Structure 1
Amino acid sequence: MLDKAFDLTGRVAIITGGGSGIGRATALLFSRYGGRVVLADLRLPAAETVAQEVRALGGHALPVKADVRVPEEIEAMVNRTVAEFGRVDILVNCAGGNYFTPIEDTTAEFWDKIAHLNVRGPFLCAKAVSKVMASQGGGVIVNVASNMGIQAAPGVAAYGSAKAGVVHLTRLMAGEWAKYNIRVNCVAPGPTKSEGYIRARLKASLDPDAPVDNALGRPGRPEELAYVILFLASDASSYVNGVTIPADGGPKL
């Protein structure tokens, strides 16, 4: 009974940022539970590599080059998904990124760059798929924010504000689109040991395996975040709408 609640057989999921990190882990997990995945990524070779991994598991995957900052590419992504699979049941807004910058060094151009990627992109993707979902009787959207959008931290004024916007946008979408049977929820990860995390730590001459400042004392693994996303995308959370689940190892007391 529990496995059936998580079953995604016959469902089609678009995963932005699907070429690496949490997006990749989510695609592989969705495939294990029967979902067909569209891997949308700015780097097509990365999406194609993950698509090969999905197919090696016996799943169905469509790699698509898409920049979530460009409305025309988002529309093309959705149109290609519908042409290939006939529907869109799930959207996981996983594409995002950050560069640590003190407030006094944050330029207007940098602010706009971070906002366009981290909150405008998810908005445009959700708006595009909502039309398809409404026409087919419903769907599920899972936004990936950050614990930096919930709590203050140094050097992330632009990123934290954008991710806070994603948290609130989740509530607004959930309220407005419930009439279309579209559920919208959010996960707020803490430090996660993705490829990007490892690169950033090494670039700063820091150990990627070093303890982090949370209750569990370690970064999360992309696979751990993928299970939270699976819960929110599946019927296991059918009465959950408009919430943000922190997945950050807990506060250190």
Structure 2
Amino acid sequence: MTAGIAIVTGGGAGLGREIALGLARSGHGVVIADTDPAAAQACAQSIAALGVPARAVDGDIRIPAEAERVVRTAAEMGGPGVLVNNAGGWTPERQYPVAAPAEWAATIALNLTAPMLLSQLVLEPMRDLGGGAIINIASTAGIASDPYESPEYGAAKAGLVRFTTSSAGLADSHRVRMMCVVPDWIGLDRARAQWAAMSPDRQAATRPLIPPEDIVTVVLDLVRDGKPGTVVEMLGGERPRVRPQRSS
């Protein structure tokens, strides 16, 4: 008997994989959605070894038909109870304003409109099952006020935070709690390599990396009993803090 089916986008590697495994250890079956089929399948196999169901779905969640396939897979397993909108990022080649409109629009689609689409798709299935939880993984790039290397990424993550707080009413209309985690630099392989390449002075001036397991803990806590519209900011070297909710 599982605790319900969780969808994790970008779940094949990095933070997504850690979140998927954390949900599995807490009893959730998991749908791992990723554009890397080998990584998604490897994660699904690791989860299946824990004794809970897992399915890998290879697809680009920016495409409506593929997002629908992700949700349909969860329905085949019993229906979605949790959605973690984790997939994100930006390509390093060209950013706004040098990037072509289609390029920077693709970044916004991955980091904002795809989570909005998937959230919309799971609302009715979650309500039919008695409710659910949606966790959006944003970034401190979306809450800072200094210049940022990818303006479109920063804007999309800012939008994801506000999307979360704007959607708190889903708890009343659909029994779905939407919440958001806003981490700083995460201690994954690439970040650790970049950290190691820094000078001691640069390291001293930079917040420490956040252990991925700390983010997983916050995600699981929110899934369990987080309040609708909650935004948890995570800065390296500090305890997670809940952003105060303000009415307009």
Contact kept, 8 Å, 1:102 with 1:154, in 2: the verdict is: no
1:245 pairs with 208, 211, 232, which one?
Answer: 232
Q: Secondary structure at the match of 2:186?
A: coil
More moved, 93-102 vs 125-134: 93-102
1:109 Cα offset (Å): 2.7
Aligned to 2:131: 138
Give the alignment's Cα RMSD to 1 decimal: 2.6
Partner of 2:214 in structure 1?
Answer: 224
Alpha-carbon distance in 2 for matches of 1:61, 1:128: 20
TM-score when scaled to structure 2?
0.85
Deviations 1:152-205 (A, max 9, x none): 342131111000000011112222453211100000111112245457x39xx9
Q: Residue type of the partner of 1:91?
A: L
Shift of 1:23: 0.8
Deviation at 1:60, TM superposition (A): 2.3
C-alpha distance after superposition, 1:51-96 (max 9, x if no partner):
121122333211111211110001111112111x221100000000
Partner SS, residue 234 of structure 1: helix
Gaps of 5+ in 1: 1-7
Task: Map residues 10-29 of structure 1 onto 2, 5 A cutoff.
Answer: 10-29=3-22
> Partners in 2 of 1:162 and 1:208 — Cα distance?
31
- Tell me what 1:4 maps to: none
Q: Secondary structure at the match of 2:164?
A: helix
**In 1: Cα distance, 2:121 partner to 2:199 partner:** 37
Q: Which blocks of at least 5 consecutive residues in structure 2 are unaligned?
A: 239-248
* Residues 1:102 and 1:37: Cα distance change in structure 2 (over 3 Å): closer
| In 1: Cα distance, 2:71 partner to 2:97 partner | 39
Paired positions, count:
235
**Residues 96 and 104 in structure 2, CA contact (< 8 A), matched pair in contact too:** no
CA–CA distance in 1 between the matches of 2:208 and 2:160? 25
Partner of 2:179 in structure 1?
185
Q: For 1:91, what is the secondary structure of its paired residue?
A: strand
Paired-residue identity, %: 34
Give the Cα–Cα distance (whole angstroms) in 1 for the partners of residues 190 and 31 of structure 2.
21
Per the alignment, residue 110 of structure 2 pairs with 117
Moved more, 241-250 or 86-95: 241-250
1:234 offset after TM fit, Å? Answer: 1.2
**CA positional deviation for 1:31:** 1.3
Equivalent position to 2:157, from 138, 158, 163: 163
Tell me, what secondary structure is at the counterpart of 1:186? strand
